[in-house]
Structure 1
């Protein structure tokens, strides 16, 4: 069982990236092949509100179950998403949010595990959005290490039920963030916007 964690540093980090996204980058690729920048922003928009419900042991509103579609991204995203991310961190701040069971993504699970999956969303999508838009991203080291421990402890899942893409091979000696990205099926060497600068 994961210990309660303060999600504010990770939420603040991705909020800063959202605020710095250039408007003309919404059609740029991201490290997730199924997402362009606008799609990823719309996904973050949905999770930043929907995952608050998991902290409160409430069903996620149907309107917040979004896979990421730039066509559905509302024009006030730059101002609204950072506020929602702060609200998300506040929702997971009470120790009670991490206790008992909840439902996340339609799946019943321990609330402590749900909280760690929320942290994973914040850190990994923060890195993806930063890399896709040429911004620096520094995830809190203790969050990254906690996520490595958590994800490494999960039992193997059948191929059709995997939470992430197949793991990317990353050396044990690589930086912690690279090892986390490999665990979640991302290529830490993906350059995107940085390649063009």
Structure 2
């Protein structure tokens, strides 16, 4: 199982654990309720699948291509199906090679894979925190996420999709440092 599949599994676990009764609750992402975050995660999975399969499509950030019209009680099932398709697409070693597109933006495929691997883990944490779940991230996967976040952290802060880096004590794990670099406080529960 590749690292993206592992972070997709984290995301699906958090989505399955999110009670639809909490869909209007806030999340650590100031722009997202629980429902909006799950929709964003599902849409990101489709975007990542398209990248791996070299599908170039315009992207409407206000659309809901995976969960639009799906009853909240069925969201976990719909997300799991999309997650399986995304994981299968990135399981092909060729998906990581050459150039691909993030919607219509050309980028190195490996960069897209790294960004989305980190994205799925970070948003799994956001959702887990918002819905009172525990998210267990193995040390080696925490390092993979940190490796994905580190090179883009300043660009993320400049672009507004990461918050200011959160100071941590010495000895913080790679996962905690990844959260911190992306503007998330790993001590938040």
TM-score, normalization by structure 2: 0.85
* Contiguous gaps of at least 5 residues in structure 1: 192-197
SS at match of 2:180: helix
Matched, 1:88 2:82: no
> d(CA) in 2 for partners of 1:54 and 1:27?
30
Residues 168 and 187 in structure 1, CA contact (< 8 A), matched pair in contact too: yes
> d(CA) in 1 for partners of 2:156 and 2:53?
29
Per-residue CA deviations over 1:121-158 (Å, capped at 9, x if unaligned) read 11001111111111111123222202213332448439
Distance 1:164 1:73, change over 3 A: farther
Distance 1:189 1:156, change over 3 A: closer
Paired residues for 1:49-88 under 5 Å: 49-60=46-57, 62=59, 65-66=61-62, 74-75=70-71, 76-88=74-86
> d(CA) in 2 for partners of 1:7 and 1:162?
24
More moved, 82-91 vs 149-158: 149-158
Give the match for residue 137 of structure 2: 139
Runs (4+) of structure 1 moved beyond 3 Å?
Answer: 60-63, 65-68, 153-163
- How many residue pairs get aligned? The number is 185
Residues 181 and 187 in structure 1, CA contact (< 8 A), matched pair in contact too: yes
SS at match of 2:91: coil
Give the match for residue 47 of structure 1: 44
TM-score, normalization by structure 1: 0.82
What CA RMSD, in Å, does the superposition of the two structures yield over aligned residues?
Answer: 2.6
Paired residues for 1:13-162 under 5 Å: 13-60=10-57, 62=59, 65-66=61-62, 74-75=70-71, 76-154=74-152, 156-157=154-155, 160-161=158-159
How many angstroms does 1:66 deviate by?
4.5
Residues 43 and 66 in structure 1, CA contact (< 8 A), matched pair in contact too: no
SS at match of 1:102: strand
How many angstroms does 1:163 deviate by?
4.6
SS at match of 1:152: helix
> d(CA) in 1 for partners of 2:184 and 2:63?
18
> d(CA) in 2 for partners of 1:81 and 1:29?
20
SS at match of 1:31: coil
Per-residue CA deviations over 1:167-192 (Å, capped at 9, x if unaligned) read 2222341122211111111122222x
